[in-house]
Structure 1
Amino acid sequence: MNRWSPQPAPEEADGLILFDGVCVFCSRWVRFVIAHDPERRFRFAPIQSETGRALAARYGIDPEAPQTNAVVWGGRIFFKSDAALIVLGQLSGTRALAGLRAAPRFVRDPAYDLIAQNRYAIFGRTETCMVPSAEDRARFVA
Protein backbone atom coordinates (compact mmCIF):
# COMPACT_ATOMS: atom_id res chain seq x y z
CA MET A 1 0.00 0.00 0.00
CA ASN A 2 1.41 3.38 -0.96
CA ARG A 3 1.58 6.28 1.47
CA TRP A 4 -1.28 8.11 -0.25
CA SER A 5 -3.64 5.15 -0.54
CA PRO A 6 -7.08 5.68 1.02
CA GLN A 7 -7.11 4.95 4.74
CA PRO A 8 -9.84 4.17 7.22
CA ALA A 9 -11.00 7.32 9.02
CA PRO A 10 -14.11 6.26 10.95
CA GLU A 11 -13.65 8.95 13.61
CA GLU A 12 -13.56 11.78 11.06
CA ALA A 13 -16.65 13.62 9.81
CA ASP A 14 -17.68 12.75 6.25
CA GLY A 15 -17.32 15.59 3.80
CA LEU A 16 -14.37 17.29 5.47
CA ILE A 17 -11.89 18.68 2.94
CA LEU A 18 -8.37 19.50 4.13
CA PHE A 19 -6.70 22.14 1.95
CA ASP A 20 -3.71 24.49 1.86
CA GLY A 21 -5.29 27.77 2.97
CA VAL A 22 -2.49 30.01 1.65
CA CYS A 23 -2.48 28.45 -1.82
CA VAL A 24 -4.45 30.54 -4.32
CA PHE A 25 -5.27 27.48 -6.44
CA CYS A 26 -6.47 25.53 -3.39
CA SER A 27 -8.65 28.45 -2.26
CA ARG A 28 -10.19 28.59 -5.75
CA TRP A 29 -10.86 24.85 -5.47
CA VAL A 30 -12.74 25.46 -2.21
CA ARG A 31 -14.77 28.27 -3.80
CA PHE A 32 -15.57 25.95 -6.74
CA VAL A 33 -16.77 23.23 -4.36
CA ILE A 34 -18.92 25.73 -2.45
CA ALA A 35 -20.49 26.98 -5.70
CA HIS A 36 -21.31 23.45 -6.88
CA ASP A 37 -22.43 21.93 -3.57
CA PRO A 38 -25.98 23.19 -3.00
CA GLU A 39 -26.59 20.31 -0.57
CA ARG A 40 -23.72 21.65 1.56
CA ARG A 41 -22.19 18.18 2.02
CA PHE A 42 -18.65 19.49 2.27
CA ARG A 43 -16.90 21.40 5.03
CA PHE A 44 -13.40 22.78 4.92
CA ALA A 45 -10.33 22.84 7.14
CA PRO A 46 -7.30 24.85 6.09
CA ILE A 47 -4.15 22.93 6.97
CA GLN A 48 -2.93 26.06 8.76
CA SER A 49 -5.78 25.84 11.30
CA GLU A 50 -5.62 23.88 14.54
CA THR A 51 -8.09 21.30 13.20
CA GLY A 52 -6.27 21.10 9.88
CA ARG A 53 -2.86 20.60 11.48
CA ALA A 54 -4.23 17.84 13.73
CA LEU A 55 -5.89 16.06 10.79
CA ALA A 56 -2.71 16.37 8.72
CA ALA A 57 -0.61 14.91 11.56
CA ARG A 58 -2.97 11.94 11.96
CA TYR A 59 -2.63 11.05 8.27
CA GLY A 60 1.02 11.82 7.56
CA ILE A 61 0.70 15.16 5.76
CA ASP A 62 3.39 17.73 6.51
CA PRO A 63 1.47 20.94 7.35
CA GLU A 64 4.55 23.05 6.52
CA ALA A 65 4.85 21.58 3.01
CA PRO A 66 1.60 19.78 2.15
CA GLN A 67 1.85 17.50 -0.88
CA THR A 68 -1.84 16.74 -1.06
CA ASN A 69 -5.33 17.82 -0.27
CA ALA A 70 -7.56 15.27 1.42
CA VAL A 71 -11.23 14.47 1.81
CA VAL A 72 -13.05 12.23 4.25
CA TRP A 73 -15.81 10.31 2.53
CA GLY A 74 -17.58 7.08 3.46
CA GLY A 75 -15.48 6.60 6.59
CA ARG A 76 -12.20 6.78 4.65
CA ILE A 77 -9.73 9.56 3.92
CA PHE A 78 -8.61 10.04 0.32
CA PHE A 79 -5.58 11.93 -0.98
CA LYS A 80 -4.26 13.51 -4.19
CA SER A 81 -6.26 12.72 -7.34
CA ASP A 82 -8.54 10.33 -5.41
CA ALA A 83 -9.61 13.20 -3.16
CA ALA A 84 -10.31 15.57 -6.04
CA LEU A 85 -12.27 12.95 -8.00
CA ILE A 86 -14.29 11.86 -4.96
CA VAL A 87 -15.36 15.48 -4.45
CA LEU A 88 -16.08 16.08 -8.15
CA GLY A 89 -18.20 12.93 -8.15
CA GLN A 90 -20.51 14.49 -5.57
CA LEU A 91 -20.88 17.96 -7.06
CA SER A 92 -23.61 19.30 -9.27
CA GLY A 93 -22.43 19.33 -12.88
CA THR A 94 -19.19 17.37 -12.39
CA ARG A 95 -20.35 13.89 -11.39
CA ALA A 96 -19.20 12.33 -14.67
CA LEU A 97 -15.60 13.24 -13.85
CA ALA A 98 -15.63 10.69 -11.05
CA GLY A 99 -15.29 8.07 -13.78
CA LEU A 100 -11.65 9.11 -14.10
CA ARG A 101 -11.02 7.09 -10.93
CA ALA A 102 -11.09 4.04 -13.22
CA ALA A 103 -7.61 5.08 -14.35
CA PRO A 104 -4.95 3.72 -12.02
CA ARG A 105 -3.59 6.07 -9.38
CA PHE A 106 -0.04 5.65 -10.75
CA VAL A 107 -1.31 7.29 -13.96
CA ARG A 108 -3.40 10.03 -12.29
CA ASP A 109 -1.19 11.10 -9.40
CA PRO A 110 1.85 12.27 -11.42
CA ALA A 111 -0.34 14.94 -13.07
CA TYR A 112 -1.68 15.90 -9.63
CA ASP A 113 1.89 16.05 -8.27
CA LEU A 114 3.07 18.27 -11.11
CA ILE A 115 0.39 20.84 -10.30
CA ALA A 116 0.86 20.48 -6.52
CA GLN A 117 4.62 20.96 -6.68
CA ASN A 118 4.27 24.10 -8.81
CA ARG A 119 1.03 25.58 -7.43
CA TYR A 120 2.63 28.57 -5.71
CA ALA A 121 4.74 29.46 -8.76
CA ILE A 122 1.81 29.12 -11.18
CA PHE A 123 -1.14 30.40 -9.14
CA GLY A 124 0.43 32.27 -6.24
CA ARG A 125 0.44 32.18 -2.48
CA THR A 126 -1.10 34.50 0.08
CA GLU A 127 0.16 35.41 3.53
CA THR A 128 -3.14 34.50 5.18
CA CYS A 129 -5.81 31.87 4.68
CA MET A 130 -8.85 32.71 2.60
CA VAL A 131 -11.69 34.42 4.42
CA PRO A 132 -15.05 32.80 3.66
CA SER A 133 -18.17 34.87 3.17
CA ALA A 134 -20.48 35.24 6.15
CA GLU A 135 -22.88 32.84 4.44
CA ASP A 136 -20.20 30.12 4.10
CA ARG A 137 -18.31 30.68 7.38
CA ALA A 138 -20.15 27.88 9.17
CA ARG A 139 -18.74 25.38 6.65
CA PHE A 140 -15.17 26.09 7.79
CA VAL A 141 -13.69 24.38 10.82
CA ALA A 142 -10.82 25.89 12.72
Structure 2
Amino acid sequence: MNKNIEKIIETHDIVLFDEICVLCNRWAKFLIKYDHTAQFKLASVQSALGQAILQHYDMPLDNFDTMLVIQNGQAYTESTAFLKVMDSLGRPFSSVKIGYLFPKRMRDFVYRRVAQNRYGLFGTTDYCLFVSAENKQHFLESVVHATI
Protein backbone atom coordinates (compact mmCIF):
# COMPACT_ATOMS: atom_id res chain seq x y z
CA MET A 1 0.00 0.00 0.00
CA ASN A 2 2.94 2.33 0.66
CA LYS A 3 3.83 2.55 -3.05
CA ASN A 4 0.17 3.22 -3.82
CA ILE A 5 0.08 6.02 -1.25
CA GLU A 6 3.26 7.54 -2.68
CA LYS A 7 1.75 7.48 -6.18
CA ILE A 8 -1.48 9.06 -4.92
CA ILE A 9 0.46 11.78 -3.10
CA GLU A 10 2.59 12.50 -6.16
CA THR A 11 -0.48 12.67 -8.40
CA HIS A 12 -2.96 14.72 -6.32
CA ASP A 13 -3.14 17.78 -4.13
CA ILE A 14 -5.02 16.57 -1.05
CA VAL A 15 -6.93 18.04 1.88
CA LEU A 16 -7.47 15.67 4.81
CA PHE A 17 -10.25 16.77 7.13
CA ASP A 18 -12.05 15.50 10.25
CA GLU A 19 -15.39 14.19 8.97
CA ILE A 20 -17.19 14.42 12.32
CA CYS A 21 -16.28 18.08 12.86
CA VAL A 22 -18.96 20.54 11.75
CA LEU A 23 -16.38 23.26 11.03
CA CYS A 24 -14.27 20.82 8.99
CA ASN A 25 -17.32 19.72 7.00
CA ARG A 26 -18.13 23.35 6.25
CA TRP A 27 -14.54 23.79 5.05
CA ALA A 28 -14.92 20.77 2.76
CA LYS A 29 -18.22 22.14 1.40
CA PHE A 30 -16.51 25.49 0.83
CA LEU A 31 -13.84 23.74 -1.22
CA ILE A 32 -16.43 21.84 -3.25
CA LYS A 33 -18.14 25.13 -4.04
CA TYR A 34 -15.09 27.30 -4.79
CA ASP A 35 -12.38 24.91 -6.01
CA HIS A 36 -13.83 25.02 -9.51
CA THR A 37 -11.07 22.90 -11.06
CA ALA A 38 -11.18 20.34 -8.22
CA GLN A 39 -7.46 20.86 -7.70
CA PHE A 40 -7.71 19.61 -4.12
CA LYS A 41 -9.04 16.14 -3.46
CA LEU A 42 -10.83 15.69 -0.16
CA ALA A 43 -10.37 12.70 2.12
CA SER A 44 -11.49 12.11 5.66
CA VAL A 45 -8.79 11.47 8.25
CA GLN A 46 -10.99 8.66 9.56
CA SER A 47 -11.04 6.80 6.22
CA ALA A 48 -8.59 4.00 5.41
CA LEU A 49 -7.02 6.18 2.73
CA GLY A 50 -6.77 9.14 5.09
CA GLN A 51 -5.19 6.96 7.77
CA ALA A 52 -2.63 5.63 5.28
CA ILE A 53 -1.71 9.18 4.24
CA LEU A 54 -1.37 10.27 7.88
CA GLN A 55 0.84 7.26 8.53
CA HIS A 56 2.97 8.08 5.48
CA TYR A 57 3.70 11.51 6.97
CA ASP A 58 4.18 10.12 10.52
CA MET A 59 1.18 12.03 11.80
CA PRO A 60 -1.05 10.87 14.69
CA LEU A 61 -3.74 8.42 13.62
CA ASP A 62 -6.18 9.27 16.40
CA ASN A 63 -5.71 12.98 17.18
CA PHE A 64 -6.98 15.23 14.42
CA ASP A 65 -6.21 18.74 15.65
CA THR A 66 -4.88 19.90 12.31
CA MET A 67 -5.91 19.73 8.72
CA LEU A 68 -3.29 18.13 6.51
CA VAL A 69 -2.78 19.61 3.06
CA ILE A 70 -0.52 17.94 0.55
CA GLN A 71 0.47 20.04 -2.42
CA ASN A 72 3.04 18.80 -4.93
CA GLY A 73 3.94 16.02 -2.50
CA GLN A 74 4.77 18.49 0.30
CA ALA A 75 2.74 18.25 3.53
CA TYR A 76 1.47 21.38 5.26
CA THR A 77 -0.34 21.66 8.58
CA GLU A 78 -2.07 24.24 10.72
CA SER A 79 -2.26 27.83 9.46
CA THR A 80 0.13 27.21 6.57
CA ALA A 81 -2.16 24.46 5.25
CA PHE A 82 -5.11 26.84 5.30
CA LEU A 83 -3.14 29.64 3.61
CA LYS A 84 -1.80 27.30 0.90
CA VAL A 85 -5.31 26.22 -0.06
CA MET A 86 -6.74 29.73 -0.01
CA ASP A 87 -3.88 31.06 -2.12
CA SER A 88 -4.43 28.27 -4.67
CA LEU A 89 -8.12 29.14 -5.08
CA GLY A 90 -7.28 32.46 -6.74
CA ARG A 91 -9.06 35.75 -6.29
CA PRO A 92 -10.68 36.84 -4.05
CA PHE A 93 -9.55 34.05 -1.70
CA SER A 94 -5.85 34.40 -2.47
CA SER A 95 -5.87 37.77 -0.72
CA VAL A 96 -5.87 35.78 2.53
CA LYS A 97 -2.17 35.13 1.87
CA ILE A 98 -1.61 38.41 3.68
CA GLY A 99 -1.68 36.07 6.68
CA TYR A 100 1.90 35.13 5.83
CA LEU A 101 2.90 38.56 7.14
CA PHE A 102 2.14 37.33 10.65
CA PRO A 103 4.74 35.16 12.37
CA LYS A 104 4.05 31.43 11.94
CA ARG A 105 4.11 30.92 15.72
CA MET A 106 1.31 33.44 16.14
CA ARG A 107 -0.74 32.07 13.21
CA ASP A 108 -0.38 28.51 14.46
CA PHE A 109 -1.24 29.52 18.03
CA VAL A 110 -4.58 30.91 16.84
CA TYR A 111 -5.13 27.90 14.55
CA ARG A 112 -4.48 25.46 17.44
CA ARG A 113 -6.86 27.31 19.79
CA VAL A 114 -9.70 26.98 17.29
CA ALA A 115 -8.76 23.40 16.31
CA GLN A 116 -8.56 22.15 19.89
CA ASN A 117 -11.94 23.68 20.76
CA ARG A 118 -13.76 23.10 17.45
CA TYR A 119 -16.12 20.40 18.76
CA GLY A 120 -17.23 22.66 21.62
CA LEU A 121 -17.48 25.75 19.43
CA PHE A 122 -19.07 24.22 16.33
CA GLY A 123 -20.22 20.74 17.34
CA THR A 124 -19.91 17.33 15.77
CA THR A 125 -21.99 15.51 13.23
CA ASP A 126 -22.88 11.91 12.48
CA TYR A 127 -23.33 12.76 8.82
CA CYS A 128 -20.40 12.69 6.46
CA LEU A 129 -20.34 14.60 3.23
CA PHE A 130 -22.32 12.90 0.52
CA VAL A 131 -20.43 12.04 -2.64
CA SER A 132 -22.66 12.72 -5.61
CA ALA A 133 -22.24 12.68 -9.36
CA GLU A 134 -21.84 16.47 -9.25
CA ASN A 135 -19.07 16.54 -6.63
CA LYS A 136 -17.27 13.19 -6.88
CA GLN A 137 -14.30 14.79 -8.70
CA HIS A 138 -13.55 16.55 -5.38
CA PHE A 139 -13.12 13.32 -3.40
CA LEU A 140 -9.83 11.47 -3.40
CA GLU A 141 -11.34 8.01 -3.01
CA SER A 142 -13.65 8.54 -5.99
CA VAL A 143 -10.78 9.72 -8.18
CA VAL A 144 -8.42 6.97 -7.04
CA HIS A 145 -11.00 4.22 -7.58
CA ALA A 146 -11.83 5.59 -11.02
CA THR A 147 -8.19 5.19 -12.10
CA ILE A 148 -7.69 1.68 -10.72
Q: TM-score range, shorter-chain basis? A: 0.7 to 0.9
Structure (1/2) with the larger helix percentage: 2
Q: For residues 90 and 41 of structure 1, what CA distance do their matches in structure 2 show?
A: 9
Deviates more, 1:56-65 or 1:46-55: 56-65
Q: Which amino acid aligns with 2:67?
A: N
Match of residue 78, structure 2, among 77, 80, 95: 80
Q: For residues 129 and 62 of structure 1, what CA distance do their matches in structure 2 show?
A: 21
Report the TM-score, using the length of structure 1 for normalisation. 0.85
Aligned residues: 134
Deviation at 1:138, TM superposition (A): 3.2
* Structure 1 runs not aligned, ≥5 long: 1-9
* Structure 2 runs not aligned, ≥5 long: 1-5, 142-148
Report the TM-score, using the length of structure 2 for normalisation. 0.81
- Distance change in 2, residues 1:57/1:42 (3 Å): same
Q: Identity across aligned pairs (percent)?
A: 32
Aligned Cα root-mean-square deviation (Å) = 1.9
Deviation at 1:15, TM superposition (A): 1.7
Does 2:43 match 1:37? no
Secondary structure of the 1:107 match is helix
Please say if residues 68 and 77 of structure 2, whose CA atoms lie closer than 8 Å, have aligned partners that are also in contact. yes
Q: For residues 138 and 96 of structure 1, what CA distance do their matches in structure 2 show?
A: 26
Please name the residue that 1:89 is paired with. Answer: 87
- Runs ≥4 in structure 1, deviation > 6 angstroms? none
Q: For residues 127 and 24 of structure 1, what CA distance do their matches in structure 2 show?
A: 10
Alignment map for 1:115-134 (pairs within 5 Å)? 115-134=114-133
